[in-house]
Structure 1
Amino acid sequence: MIPAWKLKRELRRPFIRLAKSAMLPTGYLNTWVHDRHRTRLVTRSEGAIPALQDLAILLIYQPNGILPSTYQQLDFFVSQGVAPIVVVNHPLAERELSRLLEGAHLVIRRPNTGYDFGGYREGIQTIRERGYDPENLFILNDSIWFPVRPDCTFLDQARAASADVYGIFFNDKARRDAHHHLQSYFYRVSGRVLRDQRFHRIWDRMALHDNKDLVIRQHEIRLTDRLRQAGFSIGAYLSPTDLLRAAMALSVQEKRHLVAYQARHDIRTRQSFQALDTSGLSDAAFEAEADLLLAATKLSYYFISSHPYLQLRDLRSPVIKKQRTSECVAQRREILRLGMDRALLPVVGREIRMWDDAQDAESAGAAVEPGGRPAVEPAPQGLTL
């Protein structure tokens, strides 16, 4: 039987698509208005860091206060020979501006028009207008913690990649090849791409949508194909194949734990895993069924909210998502439950421990300690970190 939530979603889908199609022209109108009034809408402040051979555009939206990890992130970039250009999509207190300027080459303040891609666009246009010619440009937003470990070498790995455009995760499981895409929270763009007018035309002509779902569908999902069609090569640190391979390589005990975790927390695969979780099969039979199930479901599509054993331990992800979806809340709870926060950068560990308030944790089915922190159970016996 089709689950009720899925039936409702499918019944609503054509009406949602129709409504969003009607909104498409508004994005181009937003672009025209924004560009016409850009000198009034956008403010640039010079920072203490000189322009370096590599640049980074860091898009932040933190209207309730800049996180300590953001300042540490700027220090990390500078230590790696990267000059940060911070694009802030909200009003900024003077004390926050002063602090950001200490660790940045430039701070750009703008309205939140176009969300993250509007901010990325502003940073790219500013780099071109100033005549900068970096060897690499890193483009990322603050929906992730990065870096998460003291020994992070991911920037060097991204620099060494031969691809023109490189990301962390390439989702190649969509039915249409044109929808295979790099996830948009982190890109590395080579200097060759930045010197190519085809790259800049993509951004100059970009519609600044004020609907988040439209931004995802029109820009995050389609940008990779537009870049490929323009002749640029695409590469990534990880793909769904890597995630599936890591899941298959788990021990039987770890697979039992993963199946139970999916059955509890992932609405997209829950039903598939619940029956196996309660099957009572022997280890050998369970492992055989688990491998079939792992290969058949969409578990490998969702790297950024996957079990910490896969994402952090085995695949050595350089990022953790801050999103407050139930799957990401569950992932952070699991990081705490397993004590994996102790291996992270102290500032990242502290923020993860404070990130989800009591309401968020309860909605994910967590017990909550006083102060809002999810209660941490002992790590499962027989599982190794």
Structure 2
Amino acid sequence: MVQKWVIKRELARSARHLKFPFYAIAAPIQRYLHDRSKAQNSRFTPGLQPRGAQLALYLLHQKDALLASTFETCQHLAAKGFSTLIVSNTPLAEADRQALAPYCFAMIERPNFGYDFGGYRDGVLWLLDNPGPVTRLLLLNDSVWFPTLPGEDFLAQLLASDCDLYGAIMSQRKRHVSDRYVQSYAFGFSGKLVETALFKRYWQHLNLQSDREWTIRRCERKMTAVFRSAGHKIGARWDFPDVEKALRQLGDADLIAVLQLEAKLEQKRGEVIGPLVARHGQPGWRVEVEAYINSPKFRKFILLLHPSVWLPLNFPFLKKSKERRFAQHRPYFIQSVGPECNPVMLAEIARWDAMDPLVTSAVSQTADTAV
């Protein structure tokens, strides 16, 4: 039986889509008004870090004091040779500006217009208006903890890639190849692409709305299509062949954990997964499980897979979303990956859901049954 919260979510999503034609009309006007008032409504502060050619645009949206994990991420970017531009979609306290200054060459504080892509756009346009050499431009936002694993290689792969647009994750396998897109919480551009007229035109004319569905559909998904259609090479560190290979290499106990978490997050699959787990030890069980995992019925959304899959993948991101399924997923991360995790981030993750009673209840139930 489909849960009520899922039905409500889908109905709300459908209702929001009815607004899209009006958004499409209003967006160019709102973009124009935002650009006209940007100088008055934004604040620029220089940082202490020298600006190099290997750039990171790190987008923040933290309404209270900055999280300790923010500084861990900044330190990691600096250690990997990135010069960082901070873009904050909320005002920063003076103490936070001073604390961030050693880890960035500039800070921009702006209104939260257009969500993450609005912040990306203002940051990218500032860089283009203040030109300097660029070999690689990383865009990263604080909707994820990063890096949660000490030996992460995403940044090294990004720098070594010959792709013009290279992200952490490519979207769902079920999509047509031409429709698949780079997910937007961590991705980068080559210096060659940054120098093109298309790159500047894309960001200048990007239609924004402060609406999650609009941002996903009209910004995140279309960005890949724009640059792919112009002949630029697209790639990602993790794709479905990587996930499938990691799943095949798991032992039986980890496979059962993967299935049980899938049944918890996708309860409609419980009728299939429950009996499948119960048949463990019978002849042909492994073949049957692998056939199910390789079928379209099994969701391979890497951000919600059991974290035992993440270790062989060296996957160093964890979503901060308060959405129930991500909250239910975090105790599994703490149990499976916790010993490998950055201790500052691990402590923050363990406290993350404590202030939301509904989420806390769900997390507690998950922790009680975690494998």
Question: TM-score normalized by structure 2?
Answer: 0.91
Structure 1 residue 26: Cα displacement: 2.3
What secondary structure is seen at the aligned counterpart in 2 of 1:45? strand
* Residue in 2 that maps onto 1:383: none
The aligned amino acid for 2:317 is V
User: Distance in 1 between the 2:219 and 2:23 partners?
Assistant: 15
Preserved CA contact (<8 Å) 1:84 1:104: yes
* Residue in 2 that maps onto 1:248: 248
Structure 1 residue 251: Cα displacement: 1.9
Stretch deviating more after TM superposition (19-28 or 253-262): 19-28
Structure 1 residue 199: Cα displacement: 1.1
What secondary structure is seen at the aligned counterpart in 1 of 2:226? helix
- 1:21-55, CA deviations, whole angstroms, 9 ceiling, x for partnerless residues? 33222222221110111211222110000101211
* Residue in 2 that maps onto 1:370: none
How big is the alpha-carbon RMSD for the aligned residues of Structure 1 and Structure 2?
2.5
What secondary structure is seen at the aligned counterpart in 2 of 1:81? coil
Alignment of structure 1 residues 255-334 onto 2, 5 Å: 255-267=255-267, 269-277=269-277, 279-280=278-279, 282-297=281-296, 299-311=298-310, 313-334=311-332
Q: In the comparison of the two structures, how many residue pairs are matched?
A: 369
Of residues 346, 352, 355, the one that matches 1:355 is: 352
Preserved CA contact (<8 Å) 1:265 1:364: no
Question: Are 2:97 and 1:97 equivalent residues in the alignment?
Answer: yes
Q: 1:105 to 1:14 in 2, by over 3 A?
A: closer
* Residue in 2 that maps onto 1:74: 74
Question: Are 2:341 and 1:341 equivalent residues in the alignment?
Answer: no
User: Distance in 1 between the 2:270 and 2:196 partners?
Assistant: 45
Structure 1 residue 355: Cα displacement: 1.1
Aligned-residue sequence identity (percent) comes to 27
User: Distance in 2 between the 1:245 and 1:205 partners?
Assistant: 40
User: Distance in 2 between the 1:13 and 1:116 partners?
Assistant: 19
Preserved CA contact (<8 Å) 1:171 1:301: no
User: Distance in 2 between the 1:80 and 1:331 partners?
Assistant: 29
Preserved CA contact (<8 Å) 2:167 2:236: yes
- 1:154-202, CA deviations, whole angstroms, 9 ceiling, x for partnerless residues? 3222100111111111115244444311110011211001100101111
Q: 1:310 to 1:298 in 2, by over 3 A?
A: farther
Q: 1:331 to 1:9 in 2, by over 3 A?
A: closer
User: Distance in 2 between the 1:47 and 1:58 partners?
Assistant: 13
Preserved CA contact (<8 Å) 1:56 1:139: yes
Q: 1:104 to 1:347 in 2, by over 3 A?
A: same
Preserved CA contact (<8 Å) 2:154 2:237: no
Preserved CA contact (<8 Å) 1:141 1:185: yes
What secondary structure is seen at the aligned counterpart in 2 of 1:76? helix
Preserved CA contact (<8 Å) 1:243 1:300: no
Structure 1 residue 150: Cα displacement: 2.5
What secondary structure is seen at the aligned counterpart in 2 of 1:181? coil
Q: 1:8 to 1:199 in 2, by over 3 A?
A: same
User: Distance in 2 between the 1:181 and 1:310 partners?
Assistant: 22
Preserved CA contact (<8 Å) 2:153 2:314: no
User: Distance in 2 between the 1:223 and 1:233 partners?
Assistant: 13
Stretch deviating more after TM superposition (89-98 or 262-271): 262-271
- 1:71-93, CA deviations, whole angstroms, 9 ceiling, x for partnerless residues? 12112212222111000001221
Preserved CA contact (<8 Å) 1:262 1:269: yes
Stretch deviating more after TM superposition (153-162 or 100-109): 153-162
Question: TM-score normalized by structure 1?
Answer: 0.88
Structure 1 residue 271: Cα displacement: 4.9
Alignment of structure 1 residues 98-117 onto 2, 5 Å: 98-117=98-117
Q: 1:322 to 1:105 in 2, by over 3 A?
A: same
What secondary structure is seen at the aligned counterpart in 1 of 2:167? strand
User: Distance in 2 between the 1:149 and 1:314 partners?
Assistant: 11
* Residue in 1 that maps onto 2:33: 33
The aligned amino acid for 2:285 is F
User: Distance in 2 between the 1:316 and 1:204 partners?
Assistant: 36
Q: Which runs of 5 or more structure 2 residues have no equivalent in the other structure?
A: none
Structure 1 residue 13: Cα displacement: 6.8
Preserved CA contact (<8 Å) 1:90 1:110: yes
Stretch deviating more after TM superposition (207-216 or 177-186): 177-186
* Residue in 1 that maps onto 2:163: 163
